[in-house]
C-alpha cells in the first residue's frame, strides 16, 4: 500500500487542456497493485491519452471483470462512470451498456485470464457484434491476482517462477480477433508509452470494437528468466509492425497526401490515423496478410507490436441493428415502453 | 549526457535550495523537522553550528534562503524559514551544556579582533574552543556592532541580542570596550599571531547638495540610528524626509514614527521594482503609514535663516528599464528633518598605508575564499571585507577567516581548505514506510502577527512581530518539502518498468535515449521550465541503455518514486552536509 495519496500539486508549469483540466484530473485513486506492475503503466498511458483527447470524464464509462488488471479502472478518470462486473463478464455488461447509451466512450480493462479463460465466449461475441468500445487486455501470461498460475496466453515452454514449463498451447487474442472479424487490432507493451498512447487514442476514435493486447509484465510472478512475458524478454523480442500517429479532428487535414509506406485512415469522427509500415510489405488492411505475418512471427518467437489491423468501414452494433440514434435514456418513457395496447397490436396481423 | 556525479557533495547540496542559498549553509530542513517534533533546543543548536546567532537572525536575517525555497516554485510562497528559526530560539532551553568546552590550557596563540560585531564574535566563537586567546577591541562601550547600534530594538530587542552575544563573550573573550584601534602599526607591533579586522563599513554616504551644511537638521542615517540606540536622540520633527529606499531607510522611517514624526516620506529616485529594500521591510513600513514617493531626485536643501524648511526634488520620468530619465518639473516638499540613507562606505583611516598591505583605492585587497589580506597574518570579514552586506554573510566570512587563522597558526597553507563532505542515510523503514513525514501538506504560508498599530509606537523598543503561535508553527513546519531527503538512484537495479515515472506527482522523471543536454531537455515528461535547476542523468540502464533523467526543479520529495520502485533503484536518503569549521569537520546537525 502506498503511504500517501498522490499529492494534488497544482504547480505553475502544469498544462491544461481545452477543458481546463490537468493530467491529474484524469487520474484515479492510488494504485494498490505491486510496485512495478505493468498494469500501472497502462493506466498511465490511458490517463495521458484521455487528457490529450480532452474527453470530459463524465462522458467515459469504465468497465472490468476480476483480476489485478480489473482493479485498474479505479486508478484513472475518477470522474467517470464505472462497472466492475463478475469474472469474465465485462464483455456482456459492456454490450448492454453500449446498446443502451451510444454516447459514452466505453473503456474496458481485462486480463488474459479474464478474457481468454472464463470470459472467452463473451469476448468472441463482443468481437462479432463489433461493439463500439476500447477493450484492453493487460496480458501478463498469468493469473496475477490468484498468485501466478499460467493463463491461456502463456507460451509453450515459458516457465513458472519455480521453473515448471507450460505445456498447453496459447491463445493469441490478435489471431483470434482476425478470425472473428475484428475491425481494430493492436498490440502494445506497457513499457512503451510512445507507441501505446496514440494507439489508445485511435482506438477511442474507432467505430466498432478496438481490441488492444498490451504485454504488461507481472513483476511479482512472471518477470523472471524463464518467462516470455517479462520486461526483458519483451524488449528483446519486440518487432514493430507499424508505427502510428494519431491526428485529432481538424478543419484541414493533410491526410490525403500519400506518403510511401503510410496508410492514412480517416476515422469516424474526422480524425486521422497514420500508420507507417515498418516491414515495407506489411499492410494493416489486409486481414489474410496480417494473419500470416502473425503466424510466422509467433513461430520465430517474436512479439509483433503496433497497430496490426484496421477496418474502419464495417458496420458496428448500432448500424447492424439499425437502432435509434438517441441514447435510450433520452427517449421518453411513454415511447420506450408504449404499453400493452401497442404490444397487443403487434400480435394481430 | 554525462552521468551526474552524485559523489560530489555539491550535487545533493544544490537540491536543498535553502541550504545552498544560505551563505552559512544552515541545515534548514533538518531544523524544521526538529521543530515539528517539538525539539526546539536541538533545532536551535543545528542553527547555531552554522549561523551562530539564531535568535537574532530569526528576526533580522536577510533570508536569501526564502526566495530560493522550492515551495515558492511549487505553490507560490516560500516556507517561512526565518520566522521558524525564531520559533526554535524563542522556545529553546538553556544551551550551556551543549556549548563546546573551552580548554583551560591555552594553545599559546593570541588573536586580536578589531570590533565586536557579528564577524569578530564569530571568529571568537570558532577559535576559543581550540585553545586560542582572543582579544577584542571595540570603540564603543557595548558589543554587537550594527546589530546594536543600527538595527532598531523594535525589530531586535536588546535582550535577544545580549543573550547570544554574551554566550560568546562568556567563552572567555578578552573584550576591551572603549578601545578604538587608532593605529594598525601599533596593533601589529603588539605581537599577535593573527589580526582579524571586523570593523564594519562605518561611514554613511553623504549627499553634497546646496544647503547640506547650513543646518543641523540633516542627519546621516546610520549615525542617527546609532544616536537613537545610545539614547542621545529621542525626538524628531513632525515632517521627516528619508532619502534613499534601502533597508536603512526603512529603519529610519519607522524610527521617526516612534520619535514623534507624523508625516514621514521615503524619497526614491527610481520606480518600485528597482528599490533596494527587501519586500517585507517595505510592507512593514507601509503598514505603519509611511509614504514612499517614487521618481523624486534630490536637488537642494532649502534653508531659510538657518532653519531647514524643505527640500527640492526633480520629478523624473523613466524609460521602461529605468535606465534613462527626463525631468518633468521641480517640487518643494516642506520638512523639519532630513535623513540620508543612501548607503555606506568602508573607511580605514587607522590603517597606515605603508605597512605592506595592498589597497585597491580605499579598500584593502582581500582573498574571497581565505579572507586573507596581503599581509599574511591579517584577515578581514563582514562589512569591512567587501563593503556593507548583512549579518549572515559576516558570520560566514568569519567562519572562513577562522579556518584560515587556524591553518596559519598550525603552519598549514591558508588556501588548503578542509574538504566539504557528506553523509547519506536511507530513510526507508519498511514497505511504504519512511522515517520522515513524506505527505504533501497544501497549507498556505502563515502570516506573522504584528502588535496593533495603536500600541506599537508607545515606546521605541516594542517588538513589532509577535512570533508564530503554536498552531501557526504546526502548520508552517509541514510546508517544508524535506529537500534534504534526497532521491538516490542506482542504475544497475532499474528494470525500466516506468512505475516511478508514472507515479511522480510533478512529472519530474523521464527515461529516454541518450543525447546532448538540450536534446534530452526537449524530451522530458514535463518541460523543464527552470534551467537554473539541475538535471540528473544516470549511467546507461541495463535493459535498453537509455538514461534515467530527473529534473530537480519541482520534486516535492514525496518518496513515491522510491515507494513504487520494485527493485529499490530509487531510495530516499537523508543528505547531511559535513561543513568544515576551524579545527575539524563537524557534521552539521550532529547532536
Ligand atoms: C540600519 C541598518 C539596518 C540593518 N539591518 C540588518 C538586518 O535586518 N539584517 C541583517 O542581516 N543585516 C542588517 N544590517 C547590516 C548588518 O548590521 C551588518 O552587515 C553587520 O552588522 C556587519 O557585521 P560586522 O561584524 O562586519 O560589522 P559591524 O556590525 O559594523 O561591527 C563593527 C564593529 O567594529 C567597531 N569598530 C569599527 N572600527 C573600529 C576601530 N577602529 N576600533 C575599534 N572598534 C571599531 C564598531 O564600533 C562595531 O561595533 C543593517 C545595517 C544597517 C546600517
Ligand atoms: C468466477 C470466478 N472464478 C475464478 C475466480 C478467481 N480469479 C480471480 S482473478 C482470476 C484470474 C485473473 O487473471 P487475469 O485476468 O490474467 O488478471 P491479472 O490478475 O493477471 O491481471 C481468477 C481465476 C473468480 N474471482 N471468479
Ligand atoms: S500480482 Fe502481478 S499482475 Fe498483480 S499487481 Fe502484482 S505484479 Fe501486477
Ligand atoms: S520524490 Fe520522487 S515521486 Fe516524489 S516528486 Fe520527487 S521524483 Fe517525483
Ligand atoms: S520504478 Fe524502479 S525499476 Fe521501475 S523504472 Fe523506476 S527506477 Fe527503474
Ligand atoms: Mg493476467
For ligand 1, whether the C-beta of B199 sits within 6 Å is yes
Task: Please say if the pLDDT value at position B52 is more than 90.
Answer: yes
Burial B10-30 (b: 16+ CB within 10 A, else e): ebbbbbbbbbbbbbbbbbbbb
B315 vs A280: which has the higher pLDDT: B315
CA quadruple A309, A313, A315, A316: dihedral positive or negative?
positive
Please report the pLDDT score of residue A303 as a whole number: 96
Return the residue whose CA atom lies nearest to atom 6 of ligand 4.
B555
Ligand 1 center to B386 CA (angstroms): 13
Separation of first and last alpha carbons in chain B = 40
Average pLDDT value for residue range B174-193: 97
DSSP reduced 3-state for A148: coil
Q: Is B560 on the interface with A (CB under 8 A)?
A: yes
For the domain made up of B99-202+346-409, give the CATH fold.
Answer: FAD/NAD(P)-binding domain (3.50.50)
What is the Cα–Cα distance from B322 to B268, expressed in whole angstroms?
Answer: 12
**What does DSSP assign to residue A254?**
G
Ligand 6 center to A146 CA (angstroms): 9
Which of B211, B281, B275 minimizes the C-alpha distance to B253? B281
**What does DSSP assign to residue A118?**
I
Please report the pLDDT score of residue A258 as a whole number: 60
Which helix (H) or strand (E) covers residue A246, if one does?
A: strand A242-247
**CB atoms inside a 10 Å sphere around CB B215:** 17
For ligand 4, whether the C-beta of B506 sits within 6 Å is yes
Task: Please say if the pLDDT value at position A12 is more than 90.
Answer: no
Which helix (H) or strand (E) covers residue B317, if one does?
A: strand B307-318
DSSP reduced 3-state for A126: helix
For ligand 3, whether the C-beta of A66 sits within 6 Å is no
What nine digits make up the cell of B393?
554573510
Quick one: pLDDT band at residue A257, thresholds 50, 70, 90?
low
Please report the pLDDT score of residue B589 as a whole number: 40
DSSP secondary structure of B321-387: TS-SEEEEEEEEEE-SEEEE-S-EE---TTS-TTSS--EETTEE---TTT-B-SSTTEEE-THHHHS
Please report the pLDDT score of residue A252 as a whole number: 56
Nearest Cβ partner of A11 from B73, B434, B497? B73
Whether B554 and A2 lie within 8 Å, measured CB to CB: no
**What does DSSP assign to residue A326?**
S
**For residue range B221-269, what is the model confidence (pLDDT) as tens digits?**
999 999 999 999 999 999 999 999 999 999 999 999 999 999 999 999 9
Cα atoms in the 13 Å half-sphere on the side-chain side of B535: 25
Sheet of strand B547-551, all strands in order from the earlier edge strand to the far edge: B509-512, B547-551, B535-537
**For residue range A182-197, what is the model confidence (pLDDT) as tens digits?**
999 999 999 999 999 9
CB B427 within 8 A of CB B576: no
Which is the closest atom of ligand 2 to the Cα of A115?
Answer: 15
Ligand nearest the Cα atom of residue A220: 3
Average pLDDT value for residue range B541-565: 97
Partners of A246 in the β-ladder: A273
Of 3.40.50.2300, 2.120.10.30, 3.50.50.60, 3.30.1490.20, the CATH number of B204-343 is 3.50.50.60
Q: Is B73 on the interface with A (CB under 8 A)?
A: yes
Ligand 1 center to B85 CA (angstroms): 21
Average pLDDT value for residue range A315-339: 94
What is the Cα–Cα distance from B591 to B578, expressed in whole angstroms?
Answer: 13
Return the residue whose CA atom lies nearest to atom 8 of ligand 4.
B504
Q: Is A6 on the interface with B (CB under 8 A)?
A: yes
Please report the pLDDT score of residue A187 as a whole number: 98
> Domain locations in chain B?
99-202+346-409, 204-343
Q: Is B36 on the interface with A (CB under 8 A)?
A: no
Nearest Cβ partner of A219 from B497, B558, B560? B497
Sheet of strand A303-310, all strands in order from the earlier edge strand to the far edge: A81-84, A60-64, A105-111, A133-139, A209-215, A184-189, A303-310, A238-240
Task: Please say if the pLDDT value at position B159 is more than 60.
Answer: yes
Task: Please say if the pLDDT value at position B584 is more than 70.
Answer: no
What is the Cα–Cα distance from B366 to B343, expressed in whole angstroms?
Answer: 21
* Least confident among A240-249, A339-348, B34-43, B236-245: A339-348
Q: Is A37 on the interface with B (CB under 8 A)?
A: yes
Task: Please say if the pLDDT value at position A1 is more than 80.
Answer: no
What nine digits make up the cell of A130?
463489433
In which residue are the cell numbers 404499453 written?
A: A339
* Least confident among A156-165, A198-207, B329-338, B527-536: B527-536
Q: Is A237 on the interface with B (CB under 8 A)?
A: no
Average pLDDT value for residue range B473-478: 98
Q: Which of A31, A68, A154, A190 to mutate to test the pocket of ligand 3 (most atoms within 8 A of CB)?
A: A68
What is the Cα–Cα distance from A175 to B353, expressed in whole angstroms?
Answer: 94
> What is the nearest CA distance from B22 to chain A, expressed in angstroms?
24
For ligand 5, whether the C-beta of B560 sits within 6 Å is no
Please report the pLDDT score of residue A295 as a whole number: 96
Please report the pLDDT score of residue B282 as a whole number: 95
Ligand 1 center to B147 CA (angstroms): 6
Task: Please say if the pLDDT value at position A254 is more than 60.
Answer: no
Quick one: pLDDT band at residue B591, thresholds 50, 70, 90?
very low
Interior angle at CA A54, CA A20 and CA A32, nearest 5: 95
Alpha helices for B432-469 (secondary structure H): 453-456
Which is the closest atom of ligand 5 to the Cα of B499?
Answer: 1
Quick one: pLDDT band at residue B590, thresholds 50, 70, 90?
very low
**For residue range B486-496, what is the model confidence (pLDDT) as tens digits?**
999 999 999 99
Ligand 6 center to A141 CA (angstroms): 5
Task: Please say if the pLDDT value at position A346 is more than 90.
Answer: no
Burial B70-100 (b: 16+ CB within 10 A, else e): bbebbbeebbbbbbbbbbbbbbbeeeeeeee
Which is the closest atom of ligand 5 to the Cα of B497?
Answer: 4
What is the Cα–Cα distance from B523 to B508, expressed in whole angstroms?
Answer: 12
Sheet strands (E) in B490-534: 509-512
Please report the pLDDT score of residue A251 as a whole number: 58
Please report the pLDDT score of residue A348 as a whole number: 61
**For residue range B118-142, what is the model confidence (pLDDT) as tens digits?**
999 999 999 999 999 999 999 999 9
Task: Please say if the pLDDT value at position A135 is more than 90.
Answer: yes
Which is the closest atom of ligand 1 to the Cα of B181?
Answer: 42
> Per residue, what are the HEC states of A48-112?
HHHHHHCCCHHHEEEEECCCHHHHHHHHECCCCEEEECCCCCHHHHHHHHHHHCCCCEEEEEEEH
- Give the whole-number percent of chain B exceeding pLDDT 70: 99
Sheet strands (E) in B177-280: 194-197, 203-204, 218-220, 239-243, 263-267
Please report the pLDDT score of residue A349 as a whole number: 56
Examine the predicted complex and report whether its ipTM is higher than 0.90.
yes
Q: Is A52 on the interface with B (CB under 8 A)?
A: no
**CB atoms inside a 10 Å sphere around CB B166:** 11
DSSP reduced 3-state for B75: helix
| List of chain B residues whose C-beta atoms are within 8 Å of the C-beta of residue A36 | 495, 497, 499, 564-567
Q: At what angle do helices B247-258 and B279-287 cross, to 10 degrees?
A: 20
Q: What is the pTM of this model?
A: 0.92
Cα atoms in the 13 Å half-sphere on the side-chain side of A311: 16
Average pLDDT value for residue range B42-60: 98
**For residue range A295-324, what is the model confidence (pLDDT) as tens digits?**
999 999 999 999 999 999 999 999 999 999
Quick one: pLDDT band at residue A14, thresholds 50, 70, 90?
confident
Mean per-residue pLDDT over chain B, rounded: 95
What nine digits make up the cell of A302?
517474436
For ligand 5, whether the C-beta of B567 sits within 6 Å is yes
What is the Cα–Cα distance from B403 to B157, expressed in whole angstroms?
Answer: 31
Ligand 6 center to A68 CA (angstroms): 7
Whether B560 and A6 lie within 8 Å, measured CB to CB: yes
Residue ranges and CATH numbers for the domains of chain A are 23-344 (3.40.50.970)
When scoring A3, A30, A37 by the number of chain B Cβ atoms within 10 A, the one with the most, hence best to mutate, is A3
Ligand 2 lining (C-beta closer than 6 Å): A 66-69, 87, 111-114, 118, 138, 140, 142-146, 151, 218
> What is the nearest CA distance from B552 to chain A, expressed in angstroms?
14
| List of chain B residues whose C-beta atoms are within 8 Å of the C-beta of residue A31 | 503, 564
Average pLDDT value for residue range B385-393: 97
Quick one: pLDDT band at residue B586, thresholds 50, 70, 90?
very low
Ligand 2 center to A95 CA (angstroms): 21
**For residue range A88-125, what is the model confidence (pLDDT) as tens digits?**
999 999 999 999 999 999 999 999 999 999 999 999 99
Closest residue in B to A24 (Cα–Cα) = B505
Please report the pLDDT score of residue B322 as a whole number: 87
Q: Is A205 on the interface with B (CB under 8 A)?
A: no
For ligand 3, whether the C-beta of A318 sits within 6 Å is no
**Which residues have C-beta within 8 Å of that of residue B458, sequence separation ≥ 6?**
none
**Which residues have C-beta within 8 Å of that of residue B282, sequence separation ≥ 6?**
B250, B275, B292
Quick one: pLDDT band at residue A10, thresholds 50, 70, 90?
confident
A1 vs B263: which has the higher pLDDT: B263
Sheet of strand B485-489, all strands in order from the earlier edge strand to the far edge: B421-426, B570-578, B485-489
Q: At what angle do helices B81-90 and B470-477 cross, to 10 degrees?
A: 130
Q: Is B544 on the interface with A (CB under 8 A)?
A: yes
Interface of A with B in 131-190 (CB under 8 A): 190
Partners of B298 in the β-ladder: B313
Whether A35 and B526 lie within 8 Å, measured CB to CB: no
Average pLDDT value for residue range B369-393: 97
Amino acid at each position: 500500500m502506498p503511504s500517501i495519496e498522490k499529492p494534488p500539486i497544482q504547480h505553475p508549469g502544469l498544462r491544461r487542456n481545452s477543458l481546463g483540466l490537468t493530467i491529474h484530473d484524469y487520474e484515479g485513486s492510488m494504485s494498490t497493485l505491486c510496485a512495478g506492475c505493468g498494469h500501472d503503466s497502462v493506466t498511465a498511458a490511458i490517463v495521458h491519452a484521455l487528457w490529450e483527447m480532452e474527453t470530459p470524464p463524465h462522458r467515459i464509462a469504465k468497465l472490468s471483470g476480476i483480476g489485478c488488471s480489473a482493479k485498474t479502472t479505479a486508478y484513472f478518470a475518477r470522474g467517470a462512470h464505472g462497472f466492475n462486473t463478475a469474472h469474465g463478464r465485462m464483455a456482456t455488461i459492456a454490450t448492454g451498456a453500449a446498446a443502451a447509451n451510444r454516447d459514452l466512450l466505453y473503456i474496458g480493462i481485462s486480463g488474459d485470464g479474464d478474457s481468454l479463460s472464463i470470459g472467452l465466449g463473451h469476448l468472441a461475441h463482443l468481437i462479432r457484434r463489433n461493439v463500439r468500445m476500447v477493450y484492453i487486455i493487460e496480458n501478463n501470461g498469468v493469473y496475477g491476482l490468484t498468485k501466478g498460475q499460467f493463463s491461456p496466453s502463456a507460451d509453450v515452454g515459458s516457465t513458472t517462477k519455480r521453473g515448471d514449463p507450460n505445456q498447453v498451447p496459447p491463445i493469441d487474442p490478435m489471431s483470434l480477433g482476425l478470425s472473428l472479424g475484428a475491425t481494430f487490432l493492436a498490440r502494445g507493451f506497457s513499457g512503451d508509452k510512445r507507441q501505446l498512447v496514440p494507439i489508445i487514442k485511435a482506438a477511442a476514435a474507432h467505430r466498432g470494437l478496438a481490441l488492444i493486447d498490451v504485454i504488461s509484465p507481472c513483476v511479482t510472478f512472471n518477470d523472471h528468466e524463464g518467462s516470455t512475458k517479462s520486461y526483458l524478454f519483451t524488449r528483446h523480442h519486440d518487432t514493430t509492425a507499424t508505427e502510428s500517429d494519431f491526428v485529432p479532428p481538424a478543419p484541414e487535414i493533410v491526410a490525403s497526401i500519400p506518403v510511401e509506406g503510410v496508410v492514412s485512415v480517416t476515422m469516424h469522427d474526422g480524425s486521422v490515423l497514420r500508420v507507417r509500415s515498418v516491414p515495407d510489405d506489411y499492410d494493416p488492411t489486409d486481414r489474410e496478410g496480417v494473419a500470416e505475418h502473425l503466424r510466422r512471427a509467433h513461430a520465430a518467437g517474436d512479439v509483433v507490436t503496433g497497430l496490426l489491423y484496421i477496418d474502419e468501414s464495417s458496420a458496428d452494433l448500432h448500424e447492424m441493428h439499425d437502432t435509434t440514434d438517441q441514447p435510450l435514456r433520452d427517449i421518453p418513457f411513454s415511447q420506450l415502453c408504449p404499453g400493452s395496447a401497442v404490444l397487443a397490436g403487434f400480435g394481430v396481423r | 549526457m554525462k552521468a551526474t556525479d552524485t559523489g560530489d557533495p555539491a550535487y545533493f547540496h544544490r537540491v536543498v535550495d535553502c541550504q545552498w542559498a544560505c551563505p552559512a549553509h544552515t541545515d534548514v530542513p533538518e531544523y524544521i523537522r526538529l521543530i515539528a517534533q517539538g525539539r526546539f533546543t536541538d533545532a536551535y543548536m543545528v542553527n547555531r553550528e552554522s549561523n551562530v546567532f539564531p535568535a537574532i537572525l530569526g528576526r533580522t536575517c536577510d533570508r536569501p534562503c526564502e526566495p530560493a525555497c522550492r515551495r515558492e516554485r511549487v505553490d507560490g510562497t516560500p516556507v517561512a524559514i526565518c520566522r521558524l528559526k525564531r520559533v526554535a530560539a524563542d522556545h529553546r532551553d538553556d544551551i550551556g551544556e551543549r556549548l563546546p568546552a573551552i580548554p583551560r590550557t591555552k594553545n599559546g596563540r593570541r588573536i586580536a579582533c578589531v570590533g565586536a560585531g557579528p564577524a569578530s564574535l564569530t571568529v571568537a566563537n570558532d577559535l576559543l574552543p581550540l585553545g586560542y586567546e582572543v582579544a577584542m577591541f571595540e570603540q564603543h562601550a557595548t558589543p554587537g556592532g550594527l546589530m546594536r547600534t543600527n538595527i532598531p530594538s523594535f525589530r531586535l530587542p536588546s535582550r535577544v541580542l545580549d543573550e547570544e552575544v554574551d554566550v560568546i563573550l562568556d567563552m572567555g573573550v578578552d573584550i576591551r570596550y572603549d578601545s578604538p584601534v587608532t593605529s594598525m602599526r601599533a596593533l601589529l607591533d603588539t605581537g599577535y599571531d593573527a589580526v582579524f579586522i571586523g570593523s564594519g563599513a562605518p561611514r554613511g554616504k553623504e549627499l553634497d547638495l546646496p544647503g547640506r551644511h547650513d543646518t543641523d537638521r540633516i542627519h546621516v542615517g546610520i549615525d542617527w540610528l546609532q544616536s537613537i540606540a545610545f539614547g542621545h536622540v529621542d525626538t524628531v520633527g513632525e515632517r521627516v524626509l528619508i532619502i534613499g529606499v534601502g533597508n536603512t531607510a526603512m529603519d529610519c522611517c519607522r524610527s521617526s514614527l516612534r520619535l514623534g514624526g507624523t508625516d514621514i516620506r521615503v524619497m526614491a529616485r527610481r520606480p518600485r521594482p528597482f528599490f533596494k529594500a527587501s519586500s517585507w521591510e517595505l510592507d512593514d513600513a507601509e503598514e505603519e503609514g509611511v509614504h514612499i514617493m517614487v521618481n523624486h531626485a534630490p536637488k537642494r536643501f532649502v534653508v531659510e535663516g538657518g532653519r531647514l524648511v524643505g527640500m527640492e526634488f526633480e520629478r523624473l520620468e523613466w524609460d521602461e528599464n529605468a535606465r534613462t530619465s527626463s525631468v518633468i518639473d521641480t517640487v518643494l516638499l516642506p520638512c523639519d528633518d532630513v535623513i540620508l540613507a543612501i548607503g555606506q562606505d568602508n573607511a580605514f583611516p587607522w590603517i597606515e598605508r605603508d605597512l605592506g598591505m595592498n589597497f585597491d583605492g580605499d579598500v584593502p585587497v582581500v582573498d574571497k575564499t581565505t579572507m586573507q589580506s596581503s599581509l599574511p597574518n591579517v584577515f578581514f570579514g563582514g562589512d569591512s571585507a567587501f563593503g556593507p552586506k548583512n549579518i549572515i554573510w559576516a558570520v560566514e566570512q568569519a567562519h572562513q577567516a577562522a579556518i584560515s587563522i587556524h591553518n596559519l597558526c598550525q603552519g598549514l597553507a591558508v588556501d588548503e581548505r578542509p574538504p566539504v563532505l557528506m553523509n547519506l542515510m536511507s530513510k526507508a523503514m519498511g514497505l511504504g514506510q519512511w522515517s520522515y513525514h513524506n505527505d504533501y501538506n497544501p497549507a498556505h504560508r502563515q502570516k506573522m502577527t504584528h502588535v496593533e498599530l495603536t500600541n506599537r509606537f508607545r515606546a521605541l523598543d516594542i517588538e513589532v512581530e509577535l512570533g508564530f503561535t503554536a498552531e501557526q508553527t504546526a502548520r508552517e513546519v509541514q510546508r517544508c518539502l524535506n529537500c534534504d531527503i534526497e532521491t538516490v538512484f542506482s542504475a544497475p537495479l532499474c528494470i525500466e518498468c516506468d512505475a516511478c515515472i508514472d507515479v511522480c506527482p510533478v512529472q519530474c522523471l523521464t527515461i529516454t535515449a541518450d543525447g546532448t543536454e538540450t536534446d534530452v531537455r526537449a524530451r522530458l515528461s514535463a518541460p523543464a521550465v527552470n534551467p537554473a535547476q539541475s538535471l540528473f542523468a544516470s549511467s546507461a540502464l541495463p535493459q535498453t541503455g537509455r538514461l534515467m533523467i530527473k529534473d530537480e526543479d519541482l520534486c516535492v520529495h514525496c518518496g513515491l518514486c522510491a515507494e513504487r520502485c520494485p527493485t529499490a533503484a530509487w531510495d530516499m536518503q537523508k543528505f547531511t552536509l559535513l561543513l568544515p569549521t576551524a579545527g575539524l569537520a563537524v557534521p552539521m546537525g550532529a547532536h
